[in-house]
Structure 1
Amino acid sequence: MSKLLLLCLAIFALTSADHPAWHRDFEPIPITDNTTRSIEQVYRLPETVKPLEYDIYLDLYFAERTDRPFSYDGRETIIIEAVAEGVTQIVLHSNVDSINAVSVLTESGAPFPVNTREPFTLEPQYHFLKINLNEPLVVGQKYSLYIEYSSTMNEGPMKRGIWRGWYIDNDGTERIYATTHFQPYNARQAFPCWDEPLFKSVFKLHISKPKSYTGTFSNTGVETFRFEEADRIRSNFLATPKMSSYLVTFLVSETFQVLAEDTSFTPPVRIIGRSNTAGLADHALELAVRMTRYYDEYFGIPYSTLHPNLLNDHISSPDWASAGTENWGMVSYRELYLIIDPRETVMSVEHYAATLVSHELAHKWFGNLITCYWWSNTWINEGFASYFGYIPTSQMFPEYEHHEHFNARYVSSSLSFDSGVSTVPLNHDVNTPAQVTGHFGTISYSKGAVFLRMTADIITDETFRKACRYFLINNAFEPTDQYDLLKAFNQAIIEDGSVSQYSNFNFEEYYRIWVNEPGYPLLTVTVDHGDGTITLSQERFFLSASATPTDHIYPIPITYSSKSNNNFDNVRPVRIMTTKTDAFNAGVKGEWVIFNNLQHGHYRVTYDDTTWNLIADALLNERESIHHLNRAEIVDDIFALMRSGRMTYSFGFKILRFLRNESNYHVWDAAITGYTWLRNRLRHLPDQATFDAHILELMETVINTYGFDAAANEPPTTSMARQTVLQFACNLGHTKCIQESYDKFREMRSGKWVSPQIRRNVYMTGMREGDSSDFEYLLNRFRQSNFANDQLEMLRGLGASKDSQLLTRYLQLTLTREVRSHDKATSFNYALLGNQENANTVLQFVKNNIAAIRTAYIEDAPPTPVHTALSNLAAYLDESGLDEYETWLRSTQTNIPQYNRALSAINSARSNIAWGTANAEMLLAAARDSATAVVTSAALLAIATLFALIM
């Protein structure tokens, strides 16, 4: 079987089903799922019976039920239909505590014979509930399947299903709320069902709860409600559209309320959250309103026409396992992204919030109206939502410049992840729960979005829009696969004739390869500067220098600019390369040429040495003649080429010497990512300090450009650039960065307001340079804050403490409910990122608290947070720490689920250390050479200038 690549990211533990966010401080770890093919298939339901309608009664109990607190009882009637002959067993999913009764009725209401000796069979490994019948169902006839069951709410969001969260209200009272998170396979925890996206049905919910729980919301509005007992009330919700089970949702609370709404829409657009965030949701409302308006017009299928009962609610949840989830009619988000206050929210959060709301709203059409047939096609749901999360958002909110951030968000992450030998294609067969969860990651989200943008460039935006409409209209309320999408593309392309300019180009072959083949190409450009002929060749790019070459040929959209033909903004391909090699005359003689305008294509580029030297000279002396997104592309490609052995570090660093004059955010974001990878392999050596000094020398211009204070009304990209640059500079020991940041921390302690746009480096430096009183101050500030985004920044800061006792106190905090379950693994990783010396303290904490960590971090949650934490720990230990870690694991922890993964991470860490030891002198020599080259170039430039003046 194929190897499963799980994106084991640390920071938000978000390789789970829905909208992930990720952090590049930690590198992806490949994981092999050794499940055999025959066992994989067993996880799938037979398609012999299909559900049509669900009528679900849920009775929710909180602390008032003393014998079974935080539990629920359910009963449901499912209208089903047999679609195959001879069905004597109805198979559906169930992952509830107990099934209490089962019966089947015919369409006329008569009992259908169920095996009285064994009416049902449970197979817990596969979550199957099998109803055993005494005679076969009749094809085409409808039956009523009745099930009674009971179960328990999960504590916190990490295990999905029905779970309970908490918050503190204005009066200091702790409030408990219950809600759901079903994507991709957790509806079965709330009610037995056909829990695969293929099986679409209509759902009617009837929820009873204590009468104090007045804040009750679901996909649709409340049809009726009634008091059932003196202290309980039942809300009966309107029927949903025909949809997949994972989209069902509800929330019951005591004080959740509408925080902001726009009633000019039908249904109104509403932001809902805890009462003590009232007045803080206006920004989220503006995002939702403007993006709803955009999609209504773009798709030509207004939201109001999708179904008369649907709401357009957006829930701000204090607890949420991911960034957001697209339940139809009631999207849920982590509060971090909906409660925005410019005086308290870092720009990177506000910036991401816009794309997140846009992403989740796009799902109303791509994912909800039409749904992937099975999770092998996850990219159809997530790729489109990711594409629309950035491209139209840049039109509706141009100040965020999201179209330019698309490359760092999706292109770079996809190129990095997709360069492994075991990467999988967009359309990839998955079956087991682990495989399904793993497919909600970089390939589906990032590569899917990049492929769609690349396709839109080829066929034109107008044809792409038409194809989207055809796809939605032709498949509304149905499951779809890659062939339905291809059919829509072909229909639009043929009508518009939009690829006729490309000779010998077959769109279906282009689509087949990019959707069903893994990886991407490296385009090698060789220029004959005598006659202007350009020769192109391609090969599949692997980051590993020892990877075996393949015979993959990718259709590559070719765009380029040169010194004499500067047209970087033209992203429509001038040709499609469909062969191993290609050649044409571009008239480029003795000047630089750069391929892949604005990095819109999913490929890397390298050049002959002469052309690289011309590019290097242009970057150094006429940098602005090359678009900043292509400068960022060059930086990203150079680090990849050096890592893969296709370019020497000496040559690469000489090209990168232009960074000392560079201040663009996108360029430096790529550079910081590349340098961080190298620094991580030198951290065990004294040489790292020398290498850091080289990087800091390159950073002087960018540090001085952005400064240490945020300006009023500055562009969002400027704020994000300063945050990224200062955090990195302070981490590397930049003297002024540390002093300025610590001074501002002291000012904050004295009561002065400090802009959230610089708080990250202020908090972190305050803890690094401060004492126990500083730690107590920030901890108390964390406990008193009403802003989830600022609390997360303070956790990042607290994790930067250098004092082992204080750091241990911080880590102990992650075992308590003060750090919410979705932030626990994140906070653990902040301790590793805070200081290089922290790893040993973290190791002692793990050794002394492993049982508590496994419980508090919820080791069996789909994002596997404990696996992630223990793996990341290895990456930050030195040789002696790794020896101690391995000895402890082998002597005491052989039975924990994380054992093999942790050992694998230890081996990877040793390989990184060995690489750093073997290459440190080479890296330092390359850095010295590049510095010398700059001095020489500057001297020659001065001489040339003087000579010109004399002449």
Structure 2
Amino acid sequence: MLIRAMALAAITDLQAANFVDHGKWRGRKGYFISRNVAVFIAFVCVCTHVVTGLVVFYCLPRYVSSQLEAADMNLRPLGTGNHVTPPSHKALSSNRLPTHVIPTHYRIQLVPFIVEDNFTVSGEVWIRLKCLEAAQNITLNINDIEVNEGAVKVTQLHPKEIINVQVIEHVYNTDAQTYSAILDQHLMPGVQYELYIKFLGQINDLLQGFYRSSYIDPGTGQKRWLASTQFSPTDARRAFPCFDEPAFKARFTVSLARSANLSSLSNMPLRFTEPMSEIPGWEWDHYQETVPMSTYLVAFIISDLHSLDATMMNLSEDSFRFTVWSREFALPQTSYAASIGPKILHYLETYFNIPFPLPKQDMVALPDFGFSAMENWGLITFRESALLFDANISTEVNKERVAEVVSHELAHQWFGNLVTPWWWNDLWLKEGFATFIGYQGLHHVEPSWKNKDQFIRDHLQEVFMLDALESSHPISVPVEHTDQIREIFDRVSYCKGASVIRMMNHFLGEKTFKRGLTNYLQAHKFSSARQDDLWQQLTLQAHQDGSLPLHMTVKEIMDTWTLQTGYPVVTVTRNYKNGSAYISQERFLLSYKDSNTISNATWWVPLTFTKQEKPDFNTTRPQLWLENVVSAVVENLPDSRSWVLFNIQETGFYRVNYDHTNWRLLISSFQHLPDVTKAQLLDDALNLALSGRLEYSIALDLTSQLITDVEYLPWSAAFTALEHLDTMLALTPAYGNFKRIVLQLLDKVYNSLQFEDRKGDTHLDLLNRVMVMSWACRLDHEFCVWHAKNKYRQWMSHELEGVWETGLISPNQKEVVYCTAVKHGGADVWKFAWEKYLSSNVGSDKEHLLEALGCTREPWLLNRYLSWITSNSSGIRKQDGARVFVAVANNVVGHSLAFSFLRDNWDTIQSYYGVAFSSISRMVSAVAMYMNTPLQLSQLEKLRDENVNQLGTTTQSFEQAIEVVRANVRWMAESYDDVSEWLQSYSKYHYL
């Protein structure tokens, strides 16, 4: 240990300008050492590793906490000796912390160096602890942190004196990402202690923990560096030693050192600033103490970003400040977020009937950010494209995305921050609620957008396909290891979670639902909770209001939706003679015919229905329930001349299938149904046919009714479902008929909308035009392609500054124009788009250009483009690498190139992107799109098998991708001929 201490001391001195008491630092300009000293340091480092390895293997002191053993930390006692086993390498073992001590307060002091030759952080942390059970260790999380072992101190806190507790050993478990201070005596229950750790950390380039970001100042051409945090779900441990689990809530007092030309932000307002005497030109920023919160919500930023004051009246406190931050040259793009953010926050205060508990709210646009946004309490961080909007450049889709993300993150300030899930198995308890309630806030500020109707397309139908896989997972899923935690940040947690909450809102009634939420938040504020705590409050309120029968509980109902994988298809088989219907349910599986799983799962299904004679499409309270049973009978239905429709407004999270007669009746009345119902029927029918539960002739006959329709919702649902047919048929003889038929169906809506935006267009008109033009140009609609190529050609020929931004291509045309022109153009067109990407100052426009560059049909350009996603110097930010890969994989020419790139560069991609975000998972999912042959299936399985020990957070994505490809292979064998025959027959009948 002497050698190790010497080595660490040497490294610390060289990298961090020397530790000194109370977080103070000596100034530094750099270090110069002789060759002999360098050789000695290298020798010491080698000896350190050797000796440390021997010590870890033979001499680690014993953990004595029974709680530690119960937490399966892979550090078990060996006999009676003072030793433990080395960390286990068992895959995905639990790495939970023991609970014999809990933190109550952190005092954190950080000195980050944000310079290209030294992205390090010197830190100190004082953690006040309460002992719950006698133990001889303090175990907490660290990752990529060097502990200055000689400075670690443990003190017992008494009212009149402080008693030192001797630390006799330091133990590290790399798999569990923990550090343990082994003590010379037992901690005593009920007594408070303080743990002091001095450490050296990194400002990494992983977009997780405390990480670095940069941008080029357009005025000077100089690279500007900044440092920010991303701690969710398990990366606060990269920034400071901590109890990095959501249930370990504590208060935090943060102090940040910075150069005087920069500024800092944290969760709370700045308390005061003072000069830093040890480093000339530096200052300390000291922040107010936080409310009790989880470590993953702690945040800080050091940068030269600029701000826009967005404060409005009528918020909970007169002194409250709402501020939006970005790069100086992007600051005008913050105005839209600044205009809606305070309004949404105020609305949510009213919605929950609970004031926002902090004295300020900052929203910050960062050049590099792994997620779309992160809900850090009082300091929400965003990817630029999720917060910034330029009306002259950004599209209507971008505007909607900004509003949706802002509302989602502000909803988290209550659901997730005020009350936090006790553990990550209930991730959905914050993400599902933020998604659903975020839509309420969005509707409040933009009611004309009809986002409550769009919810079924954006979330419910979006997640149906994923949740139809055997390899899906329950909403509430047991997780222990950090890799498992990262895997569940998916559409099941977000979209399905939000969809079953929406269903619950309808079957309880909004008044009961909102009262129950308020009671839950009040009961558990500043603490953590489990889903059962929410069910309890909702049941109490529902029984009190009479909105749920006394024999039913919310837990009994919702456990069938949150603890089971998948969802049901409800089959309605009518008896036209006696006016009844047999209702049955079973799990909807994409490949149910060749499934290896026999599912006996049933759900509590709220049944709503209406009839053709007196249709009621507004009543969404259940008329009856399938009470966790397979079947039931419904009486008093109409005769054979009239249709019935179940699941009004698709409020229930289930599909509905009918007998052939009822389907034909619905098809004949399709034009007279509400848009939401049309979207529901199209999505159900096409996906029922995809899974083999419905003849394609019925699904396609229903789709053909769109020939007279011009509205957004039905077309949106149809296009999403038709995507599968497009990819399956793309390389087959039937594709020509498919293209002609879809273009014919598009004719009326295309002519209704035209290519150019028009004065008076509604929000849905703008969304509809982008979608219709995109499909028309994709299918080589003559006028669509001509308009797009012509617009792009004019843009290329008018390179005068600003011209291209002020009318040559309107914002809402860009996505279609960029991709179509690049698809039909050569290297010069591609190069022009790349140069515009590099020079653009608008995040959303940069994303559109990146996606368009993947539309080219030149294989050499696509291969070069793919090679750039693993290069720091290419100009493609790490956050956008998956976007580029998916764009190439979605190109019928680029798909095989993308798969080959993924296969041949697996190790490089894994190393470059790491495990923090879903980048590699998105790549794996994308390569499955066009795969539909046994050979392609075997190639994908081989890729998985060859890397089985290195899959990490992509394990679930591989299983899902392979299941999708298996279903595609089956579809080609069982359904291709039927679809091809229908297309051929329709073409002949309509003389196409």
* Pairwise same-fold verdict (TM > 0.5): yes
* Structure-2 residue corresponding to 1:711: 758
Distance 1:774 1:748 in 2: 11
Higher deviation after alignment, 742-751 or 98-107: 742-751
Equivalent AA in structure 2 for residue 541 of structure 1 = F
Distance 1:929 1:686 in 2: 14
Equivalent AA in structure 1 for residue 851 of structure 2 = R
Identify if the C-alpha distance between structure 1 residues 537 and 206 changes in structure 2 by more than 3 Å, giving closer, same or farther.
Answer: same
Matched, 1:113 2:165: yes
> Mapping of 1:763-778 within 5 angstroms?
763-778=818-833
User: Offset at 1:498?
Assistant: 1.7
> Mapping of 1:199-348 within 5 angstroms?
199-213=248-262, 215-228=263-276, 229-254=279-304, 256-262=305-311, 264=313, 265=315, 266-303=319-356, 306-307=357-358, 310-348=359-397
User: Offset at 1:861?
Assistant: 2.9
Matched, 1:661 2:708: yes
* Structure-2 residue corresponding to 1:479: 528
* Structure-2 residue corresponding to 1:149: 199
* Structure-1 residue corresponding to 2:883: 826
SS in 1 for 2:187: coil
Cα distance per residue 1:651-706 (max 9 Å; x no partner): 32223221222222221222112221122223332332332223222222222222
TM-score normalised to the size of structure 1? 0.87
SS in 2 for 1:106: strand
Higher deviation after alignment, 432-441 or 891-900: 891-900
> Mapping of 1:6-155 within 5 angstroms?
42-63=94-115, 66=117, 69-84=118-133, 86-101=134-149, 102-108=152-158, 110-116=162-168, 118=169, 120-155=170-205
* Structure-1 residue corresponding to 2:981: 925
Identify if the C-alpha distance between structure 1 residues 376 and 849 changes in structure 2 by more than 3 Å, giving closer, same or farther.
Answer: closer
* Structure-2 residue corresponding to 1:615: 666
Distance 1:742 1:469 in 2: 54
Distance 2:905 2:425 in 1: 38
> Mapping of 1:176-195 within 5 angstroms?
176-195=225-244
- From 648, 657, 682, the equivalent of 1:597 is 648
Cα distance per residue 1:255-284 (max 9 Å; x no partner): x02124225344211111111112221110
Distance 2:753 2:898 in 1: 34
Distance 2:986 2:568 in 1: 29
Distance 2:868 2:675 in 1: 43
User: Offset at 1:464?
Assistant: 0.7
SS in 1 for 2:103: strand
User: Offset at 1:374?
Assistant: 0.4
Identify if the C-alpha distance between structure 1 residues 400 and 867 changes in structure 2 by more than 3 Å, giving closer, same or farther.
Answer: closer
Equivalent AA in structure 1 for residue 362 of structure 2 = D
Matched, 1:356 2:405: yes
- From 721, 734, 740, the equivalent of 1:693 is 740
Cα distance per residue 1:156-204 (max 9 Å; x no partner): 52xx100000112242221000000000110000011110001000001
The answer to whether the 8 Å contact 1:260/1:279 transfers is no
Q: When the two structures are aligned, how many residues end up with a matched partner?
A: 879
The answer to whether the 8 Å contact 2:932/2:968 transfers is no
Distance 2:535 2:379 in 1: 30
Cα distance per residue 1:71-100 (max 9 Å; x no partner): 10111100001111x211111111133111
Identify if the C-alpha distance between structure 1 residues 886 and 656 changes in structure 2 by more than 3 Å, giving closer, same or farther.
Answer: closer
Identify if the C-alpha distance between structure 1 residues 251 and 843 changes in structure 2 by more than 3 Å, giving closer, same or farther.
Answer: same
SS in 2 for 1:343: coil
> Mapping of 1:614-763 within 5 angstroms?
614-619=665-670, 623=671, 625-751=672-798, 752-763=807-818
Q: Percent identity among equivalent residues?
A: 26
User: Offset at 1:913?
Assistant: 5.1
* Structure-2 residue corresponding to 1:11: none
Identify if the C-alpha distance between structure 1 residues 407 and 907 changes in structure 2 by more than 3 Å, giving closer, same or farther.
Answer: closer
Identify if the C-alpha distance between structure 1 residues 325 and 737 changes in structure 2 by more than 3 Å, giving closer, same or farther.
Answer: same
Distance 1:883 1:298 in 2: 49
TM-score normalised to the size of structure 2? 0.84
Identify if the C-alpha distance between structure 1 residues 495 and 748 changes in structure 2 by more than 3 Å, giving closer, same or farther.
Answer: same
Matched, 1:872 2:872: no
SS in 2 for 1:154: coil
Cα distance per residue 1:815-840 (max 9 Å; x no partner): 3351111101111221222x312235
Distance 2:366 2:399 in 1: 17
Identify if the C-alpha distance between structure 1 residues 817 and 288 changes in structure 2 by more than 3 Å, giving closer, same or farther.
Answer: farther
User: Offset at 1:853?
Assistant: 4.6
Distance 1:555 1:894 in 2: 38
* Structure-1 residue corresponding to 2:431: 382
SS in 1 for 2:913: coil
Equivalent AA in structure 1 for residue 860 of structure 2 = Q
- From 474, 486, 493, the equivalent of 1:437 is 486
Equivalent AA in structure 2 for residue 776 of structure 1 = K
Equivalent AA in structure 2 for residue 220 of structure 1 = M
The answer to whether the 8 Å contact 1:654/1:933 transfers is no
Distance 1:659 1:154 in 2: 52
Equivalent AA in structure 1 for residue 455 of structure 2 = F
The answer to whether the 8 Å contact 2:388/2:402 transfers is no
The answer to whether the 8 Å contact 1:682/1:913 transfers is no
The answer to whether the 8 Å contact 2:471/2:960 transfers is no
- From 462, 485, 489, the equivalent of 1:413 is 462
Identify if the C-alpha distance between structure 1 residues 367 and 907 changes in structure 2 by more than 3 Å, giving closer, same or farther.
Answer: closer
User: Offset at 1:583?
Assistant: 2.3
Distance 2:205 2:717 in 1: 39
Identify if the C-alpha distance between structure 1 residues 399 and 260 changes in structure 2 by more than 3 Å, giving closer, same or farther.
Answer: farther
* Structure-2 residue corresponding to 1:527: 574
Structure 2 runs not aligned, ≥5 long: 1-86, 799-806
Higher RCO (Cα < 8 Å, 6 or more apart): 1
Cα distance per residue 1:212-259 (max 9 Å; x no partner): 21x2111011111111121211111111110000000011012x0212
SS in 2 for 1:225: strand
Equivalent AA in structure 2 for residue 361 of structure 1 = L
User: Offset at 1:918?
Assistant: 5.7
Distance 2:490 2:338 in 1: 28
Structure 1 runs not aligned, ≥5 long: 1-34, 937-951
Equivalent AA in structure 2 for residue 372 of structure 1 = P
User: Offset at 1:541?
Assistant: 1.8
Aligned-pair RMSD on alpha carbons? Answer: 2.9
SS in 1 for 2:214: strand
User: Offset at 1:386?
Assistant: 0.8
Cα distance per residue 1:795-821 (max 9 Å; x no partner): 111111222333344334433351111
Equivalent AA in structure 2 for residue 700 of structure 1 = D
Cα distance per residue 1:134-153 (max 9 Å; x no partner): 11111111101001110211
The answer to whether the 8 Å contact 2:708/2:748 transfers is yes
Higher deviation after alignment, 323-332 or 869-878: 869-878
* Structure-2 residue corresponding to 1:582: 632
User: Offset at 1:907?
Assistant: 9.1
Cα distance per residue 1:362-381 (max 9 Å; x no partner): 11111001000101111111
Higher deviation after alignment, 278-287 or 878-887: 878-887
User: Offset at 1:603?
Assistant: 0.7
Distance 2:924 2:631 in 1: 46
The answer to whether the 8 Å contact 1:540/1:549 transfers is no
Distance 2:398 2:146 in 1: 42
> Mapping of 1:810-821 within 5 angstroms?
810-814=865-869, 815=871, 816-821=873-878
Equivalent AA in structure 2 for residue 58 of structure 1 = L
Identify if the C-alpha distance between structure 1 residues 611 and 758 changes in structure 2 by more than 3 Å, giving closer, same or farther.
Answer: same
User: Offset at 1:930?
Assistant: 4.9
User: Offset at 1:38?
Assistant: 9.0
